Structure 1
Amino acid sequence: MKIIEMHIYGYGQLENVKITNLSDFQVFYGENEAGKSTIMAFIHSILFGFPTKQQSDLRYEPKHNSKYGGKIRIYHEEYGYAVIERIKGKAAGDVKVVMDTGTIGGEELLKELTANFDKILFQAIFSFNLQGLQNIHQLKDEDIGKFLFSAGTLGTEQLSKAETFLQKELDSRFKPSGKKPFLNEKLQALHEISGELKKAAAKNKEYESLVTKKEWLQQEMAAITDSLQEISKKVGELNEWKRIEPIVKEDRRVNKELNELGEIEFPARGIERIEKLNQLIHPYDAEVISISERIENMKQELTAIEPNISLLENEPAILTLLDQVPIMEQWNLEKQQCEAKLAELEDKLSIIREKLHLPLNEEEILAINTNIYMKNQVEIVSRKRQKLEEVKKELEARYQEEKNALEEIEKDVRFVERQVLAKQERLLLEEQVSVNNDKKSMEWELKSLQEQIEIFKQANERDRAVSESMNKQKRLQFFLFEFILLGLLLYGMFTKQWVLLFFGVLGCVGIAIFMLKSTKPIKEEKVKQTLNGLIEKETTLKQKLESAKYLDITKLENQLQLDNQRREELQMLKMSLKQQHPQYTKALTKLDEWEIESAQNKEKLLSISSELKIPEYIAVSFLQEAFELIEQCKSIYREKNQLHTRLGQINQHQTQIGEGLKSYENRFLQVKGLDLHNSAYLLRNKLKEEHEKQIKSQERIGKLDDLTADFKQKSQELVLLQAEHDKLLQIAKTETEQLFYELGEKAEKHAQLLERHDYLQSQLQYSILPEQVRESYLSIHDSDEVISGYNLEAQQLQAKLKELQEHQASISYEIQILEEGGVYSDILHHYKQKKFELDEAAKEWSVYCLSQQILAQTIDKYKSVHLPRMLSKAEEYMLFLTNGSYRKIHLQKAGSGFLVEREDHTIFEAKELSQGTMEQLYVSIRLALATTLYEKYQFPIIIDDSFVNFDAKRTSKVIELLKTLERNQLLFFTCHAHLLPLFQRENILSIEKGAVQVIY
């Protein structure tokens, strides 16, 4: 859906405001209280209804205008263009929807256009504002992930609030290790009362035995009651059988007779139908014969008055010729006028030829292209040539001015370059100055080197002594290990244990190699190399100090400073030269461009003159005048040709009329050789006579057609009646009417039996006995005797039941005395009351627990089915907004929330992100939700200053991202002027206190 236009009759401070041609990315700019929020609320109200007085949303009823509401024009991909108008009426307003197809509807049609979305869902998915980002700022760290997950599923924080609410309610009712929650308190109290109840029950063993006996009596009484009910049921069935027994037996007799007759195929009301058909067939047969005779008489009359068909067929052509006979005189007059006009045109044509003086004939001039485009090209080329001549003088003066300025600067540069010191001279001067300045530093450096050399020598002596001591100890250790391994080798050799021998040899060789490597003076060599490098550096510094001379430093520094000033001046001149070069080049380029443009213009002029077949010397000065003369010449040639054509048409018409009338005179008139007018008169009379014959003939033909149709109808009806008669015999499978009547009597008897069977079945359907039970009761000969037996058994059971009831009453009385005489009954009552309260609280807790489980299952299903596609798109947006810094968005394995992966594969929880990155994640998820899960609902995305907390770079990136959303229209509301350069100017509307205008 895309909003094309809005017309606000009256809404808040906006009155009679029209906004047209809304673009796919429309920006509304205005200061605070200019009306941006009013326009957003207006869109929501028109689509989903005005807020009711019970709702917290503002109604925006105008203060100074009686009209409340407005209309918007939309384009829907499925339904096309439509206008939605909503005005003041019932609570949500009266709405009217008018489609461009002509369909008109109300709320039902609007719900089709809005896919049954309501205002809350639309705002959650397609409407952004600052509140969503502010909610992130106000949340605790542990709630941020839940809020972002909720925004990615419902578009709002409702899912996060629902999870928090359910967990809070559960915690307030029960905690496994808690004491204060309501259920924990109830469980503790019930546990204490249960202990007291057990103590009281221990004192009432007699009470328990009485209770057990009472329960046994109740079971016995229940069994007897069931038996009495079963007997009562059987007695009722037997009484019902006594009532329906005659009906059942008669039904069995009717079924037997029906089986004996078998199936009879006979048409319904067959006897009555065949008698009626016989009464109709005979009159129709006589009527068909009468109509046939009348048809033959009518055909004979038609033969006697047959008209001349050939003459009537040519009537249109003859009448056309006759109507043109009076016009012959007018054509003669027109012919004279055409000949006079031709002479006049020939004179004009000779004058134009003298002016053009072109060796072209009529065909060549008419072939010249003088259309509107060519005329426009001639005017453009002529004007362009005149303008080029004016520009040439100005460009030549500018070029000379820039050239003189460039030559002057180049002269100054060459003069200053000669005064600047050469490179070798300057280097020598700098070295002399620097040598004198560095004398003290070199002396300090030499002293430092000498101290380092002394330190290295002392350290080398100490290291050498320590190294010799360490080497002695290592050699002693190596000899000891070598002796042990040698003993192992000899022992293995003498005892022929080759494994020991192998390890002994291997150990001796390894120890020997390690000894050689460890005793090398590696450290001494490194120290010696460092010491030699320091000594060489000391020698070099001494040579430099000896070669330094005391020079006139002040003079040298002045020379160097003067050279620096000249170099700066040279640099400035070169910069001026660099700046002047583009000016000179620009002027030269302008001249070159003028030459190119002039050559192109001349080329175009020569091309046009060639196409118009005008010589070059004429085209250069008089191209436009020559073009106009050619146009006049072509116009005269065309008019001449039209006149010649008209003369030919007149001659052709006169010849056709004369020859045509002569031809029809020879074919249809008996008198020949008449003049034009007499021939026309006789032809008219002949046509009149034949028309009269044709009218009489058509009357006879009409009557003949009626008789023929009547004959055909009667014949068809007769055939149908006979076919119906034969069909009845065929259905009954009989060859004669006699057999048909006999079969009809049997069919009537079969129908009567069926009717009786249906009546009996209708009587039986109200019986409580099913058909199988009825079959079983057919074998009973005396129902009264069976009923008496059941009644006797019932009396015995009732007596036993009465005895048990009296016994139960005595036991109940004893239990009551025990309960009234002790604490047990009070504790039991208190226990049951507390247990009831616990059960009720547990039911309430289970409702919240079940709700939490259902919500968790819904979240898990959403995470596995719908969320991956949305997260893929959100990752794409997040990667773009953060310039590749954050690449992946992962779901938490348990519960709701997100994990974000940085480009170095570091995983962050949402609470660990910076505020700006968290807002970028929120925007990515909201946009992905609208463009993936709800992509088929292409509603406009409405954004109200949602990025004011972003810096300039992040704001630019998010605007760039919004521009890539091509499937949804974007309506962006802002009060920040610094954002406007990010949008195209033609897409920005300025809102100023009740007025809207485009920013150009």
Structure 2
Amino acid sequence: MKIIEIHIYGYGQLENMQIKDLADFQVFFGENEAGKSTIMAFVHGILFGFPTKQSSELRYEPKHNNKYGGKIRIFHDDFGFAVIERVKGKSTGDVKVSLEDGRLGEEELLKELLGNFDKGLFQAIFSFNLNGLQNIHQMKGEEIGKFLFSAGTLGTERLSEAEAVLQKELETRFKPSGKKPLLNEKLQELHALNGELKKALAKNDEYDSFIKKQESIQEEMAGIHHQLSEMQESNEKLNEWKKIHSLVKEELWTKNELADLGEIQFPAQGIERFERLNQLLYPYNAQIKSLLERIEGLKKELAAIRPDDLFLEHESTLMTILDQIPLFDQLELEKQQYLSKLQDYQGRLSETLDRLHLPVKGEEILSFNTNIYVKNEVEVVASRGKKLNEMKLELEERFQEEKAALEKLEIEVESAESQVLPHKERVLLEEKLNGEDKKSLENELNSIKDKIEFYRLANEREQNEWKRLQKQKKLQFLLFEFILLGLVFYGIFTKQSGLIFFGIFAALLTGVLMVKSFNRPKGQDSNPTLDSLKEKEKQVIQKLGSAEYANFMKLQEQLLLDNRRKEQLQGLQMRLEQQNDQYDKVISKFEAWEIESAKYKENLFTLASQLKIPEYIAMAHLRETFGLIEQYKTLWREKSHLQERVSQIKAKQLSIENSLELFANRYLSEVHMDLHKKGYALREKLKVENEKKIMSQERLAKLLDLENELTQKKREQLHLKEEITKLFDEADASNEQQYYELGVKAEKQAKFKERLKDIQKQLQFSIITEPERESFLHLHNIEEMVVEQQKEAIRLKERLTALQEEDASIKYEIQVLEEGGIYSELLHQFKQKKYELEELAKEWSVYCLAQDILAKTVEKYKNTYLPRMLSKAEEYLFFLTEGRYHRIHLQKSGTGFLIERQDYTIFEANELSQATTEQVYVSIRLALATTLYEKYRFPIIIDDSFVNFDARRTQKIIELLKSLKQNQILFFTCHTHLLSNFSHENILLLNKGIVEIPS
């Protein structure tokens, strides 16, 4: 299988990236983070599925792109060209595979293409990285041989890892001479419990006496502990007093000395500050004198320079006018342009007025109300008219459909009614079948007569109530008709055609409704129930005159047939009622449409009247006419704006000319010049006067600086004098001599305070508090007190030791009694430990069996498949080491290799150098891919796996890779020195997701 093309929609930092025409030996070169690892992960993801969210592998989901995934195009030896596409979907993505022969498929077809390879096996056999080589560096001893054997069987260290895990699990559970494994510990515990079970019965009577004696001893021990604690605290304080009594006495003497000196107010570092102020005060007199002389010289220079201040006061105004001279020319050009536009707008206004063709003048159109509300109303009315026309067409179509359906159902109902038995015949038939006698018929006849009388009285009451309501409705309709007629006359009087039309239409509609309301519905005068009862009365009377019933079975069949027909008739009648409802709804919608259409015309004509648009134009072109009116008003406003702007330009030009003329007449000797020459002359004069002003300002600024400096010097001189006075005030001294005497006393007081502070700092961590120190000052026999306390403490400790020994003896006796009395608990523990031992033994046997199966599998692999792979690995190793090593032997026992040098010396894997071990590993991996898995011919992907090789070894490994013609090689590297080993057409440069071909 060969990868021909890679197209990445979005994967990590790579977006919309295409790599075409991949070579048989393709090199991808790029700096760190250029996308090499991303492309490798992309190939793995497309072939075997994206990593799930629970996986430890990176998913490379794009941060700035919704597309996730891509496709690769491959050539397969058996299937030809194929495209594999995988995008975001389920956990591993949704895959689509399309083959050259037109076959399409998903995961199943992809597995067929890949020969049911999974991702882990592919990465172990055909994907190289630094991890394998780094694992070799981290191993020691026989682990290297096991790792190489595992790499030669599975492509990874998983075989050696599985063997190590099994061995570790076995050793964790049992070792023949061990103590810490679980089985060993359980055996020891079981043996100990078995011995303790034999100590079951014995001492129980002495238990209570031992408990009481133990409590008494513990109380006495607690009292001794309390006495020892108090004696230790007292002893510690006495020892502490022996250390600090000299400091306490010195503290007391220092406080007395400070009290004798009393309170002294003297500034901090007062002597040094006074002498420093005196030294600073002398230089200020000479500096003040020099500043006065320089100020006088500057005043004389200022008197010689006098600028025209009156002219300069108007500088900003003049500059504004001068800057407007270019504007004057620009305004002239703008004025000509606006005049040309005015002519154009006049023509467009005439054209719009002709298109409107309204019986009004242009000025009247400006008064038309075209605000947003009117415009919205025009849009609403126009849309409403269009909608009404569409509604009418739809209603007419529905009317025809419903009418045809109704006529069809009426025919079907008439046909069904003709097949149903008449009511009289059916009743007679039912009576014959029911076998009614004369007495029951007479009872039924009496019951019917009673019902007839009840319904007759009820019908009379309903007719009286209906007449009363009809009279009331008649008055209401007449009143509403008079109101509508009044509205019609008002419309005629005010000449509002819409109002007249609405009044007439409403009056006619009210009249129709009134006529319909007063027409009593058919069947209203007669009660159907009453008629039915009367008819039934006649039938019962006829039955009483007849007493024969014949042919019972035939009558029953006839009745069943009539029941079916009646059911069919009821269904048709129900459908007919529903169709009548649909038909009535269409008629109602027609009536609603007519009302809506009348309202629409009323609104349309009202709008047309407001805008003075003829009604025939409004019916067809309301929206277009309104748009032309808006356009005319817009053009008129723009024309007025242009006229106003031309007037403003003329006024502005005149203002500029007048302003410049005013300054020229006042400050220039020659005034008969054009506008530009006057401006130039005024600029020159302004320049000369400004130069004078600048010179004057410089002198004034310098004068001000000198005056400020003089003021500052005088202020600083005064400040020094005030500071000296302040020092005298703080010390409460009237002269310098008194100030120095107070300074000496203040220095002595500071030293005493400092010493007192040091003493208190040393005493603050003492365990003796300040109030206790006063009581200790009166003690004189401290040494004797310490000796006595020590003797008493020794006596108490001896007694405490004796009590502790006695307590320990009693505790032992109690423990013996307690242990000897819990036989059932010990028996339970023994059985529990025995069960745990059996369960651990089962687990140990499972791991033993697994280890045995693994060993047999490895032995079969060594004898059947490994020789062919080792032969190819020896060929590769011979080439890589340039003949120094030429054979690879299997160890007779275990899983490991022996390497034979050219001088027939045999080495174990751990005896080789790191570089040689790596060469053995590469030889085995390549041999595994090209022998045992040669039929798959997947691309071999290598990610900088040989960066630790020197130049010679690297060149040899690259030559070996180039010789593997049956597999495509994808080589990823970030090292420029490797590129010299490849041709330019086989190298692709990766730069932040951009693919380039080197020049």
TM over 0.5: no
Q: TM class, shorter-chain normalised? A: 0.3 to 0.5
